[in-house]
Amino acid sequence: MNINQKQITRIGLLFESQVDIMSLPTATEATHYHWRELAEVEAVTASLIALGYQVDKIGNLDVLLQRYRNFQQLPDFVWNLSVGVVSRNRTALAPAILEQLNIPYTGGDTTIKSLTLNKDFLKPLLQWCGISTPDWYRYNSPEDVKSLPPWSSAILKPSCEGYSLGLQRFDIQEGLTKLQQIVSEMRELFAAPILCEEFIVGREITVGVIGNSSPLLLGGVETVNSKGEFLQEEILDLQAKRQGKYQKIGVDLSAPDLEKLKQIVWQLMQLLKPLDYATFDFRISTDGQPYLLDINADATLHPQRSLAQIAYAAGLSYQQLIEMILNTSRERWQKNEAIAL
C-alpha cells in the first residue's frame, strides 16, 4: 500500500452499534452480539480528543463506503473497532477496505483478523508452533458426529464466533444422539461448522499485550467466581458474561506457574504481527499445563474489561492505554508506509 506523507490530525472511529446489528431481520443477542458498547466508543473518543486529535465517529463500514462514493472527506487514520456482522470473514472486512482506500488503521490486518476468528484454522497453526490447545473435532453437520469424543466433558462452540456466542458444555454421558442434536441446532443457528473441544478443568487467565517490536504492556487477569475461587469446572459462557457472575483479578505472570504464558503470547505476537494489541485466553489445567483457547485480535477496549484492567494494574490510566496503542500502530505504519508524525 502506498500512503502519501501526511500529518494525522483527524482520526475516524469505525464500529458497529447495537442498532446496526439488532435491526437485521434474523438478529438475536445470542447469535449477533458483535456490537461495540457505547461506553467503549465514548471512552476511546474522549481519550483521543484529550490527546489533541479531531475524532470522527464514522460508525459502520457502509457509512465509510457511502462517504467514499460521495467524494466526502475521509479520515487521515482509522481506529478500527469494526467486527462486522455475519460470515467467517466479518472481522477482516474493515482492514481489507481500509487498505484499498489507502487509510492506515489500528489493529491486525485482513489475514490475521480472519485467521484468529476462525478457530478451526487457528488451532492447527498453534499445534504447528508447538503451543498446546485443547484437542478438538470439527463438525460441519450432525452427520459428521459418528461417535462420542474420548473425553468426559467437552465444549461446543461455533468455529468462527467470539464473546462466547453459542458456547456450551457437553458431558459425554448425555450420549451420541444428544450430541448430534446439539450440533444440528448450533449449525442451523450460526451457519458455521461446530467445534467440539476437550474441556480443560482449571484456571482461566487472560493475557493482554500491546506492542509489535517489543512488549510495551504485558499482563494478565484471572476470571474467578463470586466467591473469588478459580473456575475449575465452571465455564464463562455468554449468559455468565452478561449477568456479571464472574470477576477478574490481577495475576503475576512472573510467577513460576504462569511464566510460560508470557513466552507463548510473545511468540504469537511475533508470528502474527502486526497486531498492535490483543488478548489471549488460556486454561491452566490442574497439573499446570497451559492451553490456549482463543486469540482476541479485536479485543474490547471497554474501560472495565480485561485489557483496561491490565493497564490499570501496570499503573496506566485509560488515556495512557489508548495513547500507547495509537503510538504502537503509528510507529509500524511509519516504518512501512511513511506517515508523518
Same domain, 248 and 270: yes
Same domain, 66 and 149: no
Residue 164 is assigned to a structural domain of this protein? yes
Q: In CATH, what number is assigned to the domain containing residue 176?
A: 3.30.1490.20
C-alpha dihedral sign at 30, 34, 114, 71: positive
- Listed as ranges, residues in the chain with pLDDT below 50 are 1-5, 337-341
Same domain, 19 and 92: yes
- The owner of cell 442451523 is 188
Residue 3 is assigned to a structural domain of this protein? no
The reported pLDDT for the residue numbered 278 is 97
Residue 211 is assigned to a structural domain of this protein? yes
Same domain, 71 and 22: yes
d(CA 177, CA 148): 9
Same domain, 216 and 324: yes
d(CA 70, CA 25): 28
Whether 224 contacts 244, CB under 8 Å: no
Alpha helices (H) along 151-258:
176-190, 238-243
Q: Which domain holds residue 82?
A: 10-106
Residue 126 is assigned to a structural domain of this protein? no
* Boundary residue ending a domain (174, 198, 222): 198
Q: In CATH, what number is assigned to the domain containing residue 239?
A: 3.30.470.20
Same domain, 60 and 97: yes
* Boundary residue ending a domain (147, 168, 198): 198
* Boundary residue ending a domain (91, 106, 121): 106
Residue 130 is assigned to a structural domain of this protein? no
Same domain, 267 and 149: no
Total number of domains constituting the chain: 3
Same domain, 240 and 289: yes
Same domain, 153 and 219: no
d(CA 43, CA 312): 15
The reported pLDDT for the residue numbered 26 is 84
pLDDT for 111-154, tens place per residue?
999 999 999 999 999 999 999 999 999 999 999 999 999 999 99
Residue 75 is assigned to a structural domain of this protein? yes
Q: At what angle do helices 306-313 and 318-337 cross, to 10 degrees?
A: 100
Residue 113 is assigned to a structural domain of this protein? no
For residue 261 the three cell numbers come to 504464558
For residue 291 the three cell numbers come to 492451553
d(CA 170, CA 340): 53
Same domain, 63 and 39: yes
Same domain, 194 and 205: no
Same domain, 206 and 325: yes
Burial class for 233, CB neighbours closer than 10 Å (0-12, 13-18, 19+): exposed
Residue 32 is assigned to a structural domain of this protein? yes
d(CA 176, CA 170): 11
* CA within 13 Å, CB half, 114: 11
